[in-house]
Structure 1
Amino acid sequence: MTIGGVVERREIEIFLTVGEELHFGRSAERLHVSVAMVSKTVQKLERSVGAALFERTSRRVAFTATGRRLFDDLKPAYQEVLDAFARAVASGRGVDGVLRVGFLGTATAQFVMRAAELLRTRHPGCEIRLHESRFADGTAPLHDDVIDVLLIDNFAVPVSTLAPGHSAGPMLFREAPMLAVSARHPLARRDAVEMTELARYEVLRPRAPSGQAEGTSAPGRAAGRPVPGQAARWAAPEGAERLFAPGQADSSFAPGRAPEGRGSGRSTEFGSIQEMWALVGGGHGVFPVPSHASVYDARPDVAFVPIKGAPAYEWRLIWLSAADNNRVRAFSEAACGYVAAHPDPLTATA
């Protein structure tokens, strides 16, 4: 490593060692190099400085005034550099420290807390801090260094669309999809709805991040196309997205809407989960949700209808590959361990 384009790290080590030993032979032995290399390195440094650093005789080695000043200035600074790297290595390789975990919704927050409790029994020095993400954020909180790892489903951020530089843990659990509709919606009286029917209704869509034009590149987006979770439509995997396309009319129960089956030409956006529930309850659209929502997000103005033929929600952890460390991996292992011990991890009480 060259410092300032002038001095190599090894040259600094040799200079500091000679300064401590004041003996070329002992310095060479300590550094496992030849005496000739020590002498050559000191001479090179003296040429760079433009002054002698040591007074050398056949009997003794002593600092010059310039050499002593350089040694006193350089030694603590060099030790700080070494300590900084040591702390970084300990942080990257160790598990102790803070891990920031993002989640969406109440049930997933409880799952993260239970996985965190299991992690703390294994690694008491690891602290988990929770961060509730907005549906429209996608992977942006990872890129913005708000969180270290994100629990997300394959509808909000399909693994197949993750841009290079992301890592994904194993699938943790699956949930059947349900359609959230207003309690006044005709579908609320149905036992189930076919996925192929949904193109007849207006499906709400996540709002792009503030100040962000659709289709532009930003954290959480792949270059040239929106990443699901920030996209202009709800994104279902395996080509199912076209069946949930927004811009279709909702049922005629909503004032000012086109008759059922005819396009309204617009789609209502939301930025947070609570906004989505308010819009659904108010009859401004429908939205597919995982089945746990019917328990954790039950409200009198919203009904939940099972969707037949739709792919399941699959939940997993994702993180930036560059931020991969033992804490992230330990939390992923704890999440997998909790799921293995609890077949229904979102409703388990312990």
Structure 2
Amino acid sequence: MEFRELECFVVLSEELHFARTAERLYLSPGRVSQLMRALETRIGGRLFERTSRRVRLTPLGERFLADLRPAYAGLAEAVHRAKAAAREVTGVLRVGFLATPTEVVTGSVLAFESRHPGSEVELVEIPLSDPFGRLRAGQVDVAFTLLPVDEPDLATGEGLNCVPYQLGVSVRHPLAGRAGIGAEELAGVPLIGLDGPAPRLWRERVAPSVTPSGQPIPLAGTVATNQEGLTQVALGRGGMLFCTPTAAHHSRPDVRFVPVTGLPPSVLGLAWVKAAESAAIRAFAEAAAGHARKVGLRAA
């Protein structure tokens, strides 16, 4: 039996008026009539007497109402409690991050926990070469990722920052002493890319295959993590692109980071599995966006 039919019956028994019942339930009077006819068909008897002037319960309707009220009240309360629980933001939220817990990550966590004292964030590192595997496996609830994301099963939040790229090269590389390079010069720099299950769009973010004008960029090999990539860079086996905050985090004496102009900016955001979206995930996305606006992280 449909809960909506029972709800409509109880409200109509209180109002004894189709229009007022429809108004309380945000339905049309016609829909109320349809629900009552369906319920009477299920029961096999008339529950209401209807005339042009009034509506009243039949003896069968009065008996059904008396029997129904305790069970209906319990069911309605259970639905109310379930809805309230679904809106609560409590417990542990597992948040994935990509190798470097930059200010975008830590600031978002602090903003969320400040807004929701009953919640706690557990940070989980996500492999650079498999940005969505742990999301889909349910090992994290939401993850920081590069935008845009072209994955039908995933939802994303708004961009949290917008920063330029820097090219990491060995201190012995000819470009190491430059103040900056243009994107077209990458055609002469073999780039270190990613192995593993990273989707094509993700691989292109980390190691584009062509320059903006279409010149091919050679591939210098693949790695699974930033640390593996930095080791290859330090050994002079290729260059690797990093967003500016990540480059600053990984400053080391055997690697130079050279600003690159002419590439689309690196944009960090959040992704989660659509089917697993929760109040806590939505609250974290809102807190992260609010923090980004507050401190101006979205400025390029």
1:165-191 deviation line (CA, Å, top 9, x unaligned): 211111111111111111110010112
1:228 corresponds to:
201
1:274 corresponds to:
227
Do 2:104 and 2:297's aligned partners in 1 also have CA atoms closer than 8 Å? no
1:246 is the counterpart of 2:225: no
> Following TM superposition, by how much is the alpha carbon of 1:86 offset from its aligned partner in structure 2, in angstroms?
8.5
1:102 to 89, 96, 102: 96
Letter in 2 for 1:246: P
Instruction: Give 5+ residue unaligned stretches, structure 2.
Output: 3-61
Instruction: Give 5+ residue unaligned stretches, structure 1.
Output: 3-24, 34-78, 210-220, 248-266
CA, structure 1 residues 242+126, in 2 after alignment: closer, same or farther (shift >3 Å)?
farther
Root mean square deviation, CA, Å: 3.4
CA, structure 1 residues 32+89, in 2 after alignment: closer, same or farther (shift >3 Å)?
closer
Distance in 2, Cα, partners of 1:188 & 1:123: 46
> Following TM superposition, by how much is the alpha carbon of 1:91 offset from its aligned partner in structure 2, in angstroms?
5.2
CA, structure 1 residues 124+176, in 2 after alignment: closer, same or farther (shift >3 Å)?
same
Do 1:237 and 1:311's aligned partners in 2 also have CA atoms closer than 8 Å? no
Aligned positions of 1:1-350 closer than 5 A: 29-31=66-68, 92-108=86-102, 110-154=103-147, 158-159=148-149, 162-209=150-197, 226-229=199-202, 231=203, 234=206, 236=208, 240=212, 245-247=217-219, 267-344=220-297
| Secondary structure in 1 matching 2:191 | coil
| Secondary structure in 1 matching 2:138 | coil
1:27-68 deviation line (CA, Å, top 9, x unaligned): 7514159xxxxxxxxxxxxxxxxxxxxxxxxxxxxxxxxxxx
CA, structure 1 residues 244+321, in 2 after alignment: closer, same or farther (shift >3 Å)?
farther
| Secondary structure in 2 matching 1:186 | coil
Scaled by the length of structure 1, what TM-score is found?
0.59
Scaled by the length of structure 2, what TM-score is found?
0.68
Letter in 2 for 1:29: A
| Secondary structure in 1 matching 2:201 | coil
Do 1:338 and 1:345's aligned partners in 2 also have CA atoms closer than 8 Å? no
Distance in 2, Cα, partners of 1:102 & 1:91: 24
1:44 corresponds to:
none
Distance in 1, Cα, partners of 2:85 & 2:158: 24
> Following TM superposition, by how much is the alpha carbon of 1:103 offset from its aligned partner in structure 2, in angstroms?
0.8
> Following TM superposition, by how much is the alpha carbon of 1:139 offset from its aligned partner in structure 2, in angstroms?
1.4
Distance in 2, Cα, partners of 1:309 & 1:232: 15
Distance in 1, Cα, partners of 2:263 & 2:271: 23
Paired residues, what number? 238
> Following TM superposition, by how much is the alpha carbon of 1:320 offset from its aligned partner in structure 2, in angstroms?
1.2
Identity between Structure 1 and Structure 2 (%): 33
> Following TM superposition, by how much is the alpha carbon of 1:283 offset from its aligned partner in structure 2, in angstroms?
0.8
Distance in 2, Cα, partners of 1:318 & 1:233: 16
Distance in 1, Cα, partners of 2:289 & 2:205: 31
